[in-house]
Structure 1
């Protein structure tokens, strides 16, 4: 097994895991959670998908990992305390999506991944990024997956204390991140695996089932008994040994992407 490769792609930090032969291979790109594992390096350790004959490039979300402010998550806490949706959730997903085309071009310039369709994977808030790549861009994708994903952003907002004071702008923002409503577009883009921990937040579990129902034959739901929302222990910033339940998620992702790799060429 080769050691991880770290770097930046158009300003976005990444942790890349090469295939066993270290040569040209398809590309799978991931976006991590804001719960543990909450950095690209930690997500790579939790879900390495080591048995895949593909490059797995784990991108850092805004203000996470190498982009943390003053080496901590305090600045993120301040943002969601100010306005969970408009200061935190919505701009993070928007930035990660908008910076991706340039990051992808840089990854292709740095690593032997070719120019074929990519795989996309997101955990929790990173799941909204992966789904937005499918729903709102034309980047070719051979298969996608989300793990405990932010599938309907309104459900995520409801996890924060108090009643959110929606106005016209925030209603538009939250509705733009409702991927059940965009299932028709996603179904036409790529097959999608939806992984849901059986102990995840109940609303997120409902959203996972609703998305799979809306996608129909182009998707698959994988429930993981005993799995809550996070995939690693706190603090979840540095790489840590893979937890047993994360290993089950990793095995499901490996099977899924292996099944669809032929479409990446």
Structure 2
């Protein structure tokens, strides 16, 4: 097992885990949760996918980990108080998606990854980033996976407030981040594993099940008994020992990506 490689790619912090031989191999890119684990390094420790013969490059989300303002989450909390959808949820997904092409180019320049299709993984709000990349980018993807993901942004907004004052702009934003409605596009792009904790927020759990149904034969569900929303213990910023439930999710991801790399 080789040591993680840390660096930045076009300004985006990353933690990269090499394949066993350290040589040229396919690439899997991940975006972490904003719950624990809430940094690229912590996400890499929770879901290392050591059994996959690929480079796993865990990207940092905006204003998280090394990009936290003054080393605290106060700036993020201020955005939530300002407007949970437009200032926080949408902003994070938009910025992470927009910075991805340059980050991918930089990763390819720094690491011996091949130039073929990539894999994508996202947890929670990072899942919305992975789904948006899958649905809306021109980057070829051989397989994707999401874990307790923000499949419908309207459901995530409901976790913050049940009385959000939608207007024309925010309605267009939230509808554009409804990936059940975009399941046809996702299915055309790549097979998708949807990992859902049975104890996740009920709205997110229901959306995950609907997404799998809408994907048809291109979707697969991994339902994890006992798993709530987070994948690590608080505070979830620094790497921590893998929990038993995270180990179960990790094993599912390893099996999924090994199958599709072999194919």
TM category (shorter chain) comes to: over 0.9
Shift of 1:161: 3.2
Corresponding residue for residue 245 of structure 2: 245
- Structure-2 separation of matches of 1:161 and 1:195: 25
Matches within 5 A, 1:197-212: 197-212=197-212
Shift of 1:51: 1.0
Q: Please, what TM-score do these two structures have when normalized by structure 1?
A: 0.98
Matches within 5 A, 1:134-153: 134-153=134-153
RMSD of equivalent CA atoms? 0.7
Shift of 1:262: 3.4
- Structure-2 separation of matches of 1:11 and 1:114: 22
Corresponding residue for residue 169 of structure 1: 169
Corresponding residue for residue 229 of structure 2: 229
Q: Secondary structure at the match of 2:16?
A: strand
Matches within 5 A, 1:185-196: 185-196=185-196
Count of residue correspondences:
263
Corresponding residue for residue 133 of structure 2: 133
More deviation in 31-40 or 162-171?
Answer: 162-171
Q: Deviations over 1:237-262 (max 9, x none)?
A: 00000000000000000000000013
Q: Secondary structure at the match of 1:99?
A: helix
Shift of 1:131: 0.2
- Structure-2 separation of matches of 1:200 and 1:261: 29
Does residue 40 (structure 1) correspond to residue 40 (structure 2)? The answer is: yes
Unaligned runs of 5+ in 2: none
Corresponding residue for residue 89 of structure 2: 89
- Structure-1 separation of matches of 2:166 and 2:208: 24
- Structure-2 separation of matches of 1:137 and 1:105: 14
Corresponding residue for residue 50 of structure 2: 50
Q: Secondary structure at the match of 1:8?
A: strand
Q: Secondary structure at the match of 2:69?
A: coil
Corresponding residue for residue 64 of structure 1: 64
Corresponding residue for residue 213 of structure 1: 213
Unaligned runs of 5+ in 1: none
Corresponding residue for residue 107 of structure 1: 107
- Kindly report structure 1 stretches of 4+ aligned residues shifted beyond 4 Å: none
Corresponding residue for residue 6 of structure 1: 6
Q: Secondary structure at the match of 2:160?
A: coil
Q: Deviations over 1:44-92 (max 9, x none)?
A: 0000001111100000000000100000111101101110000000010
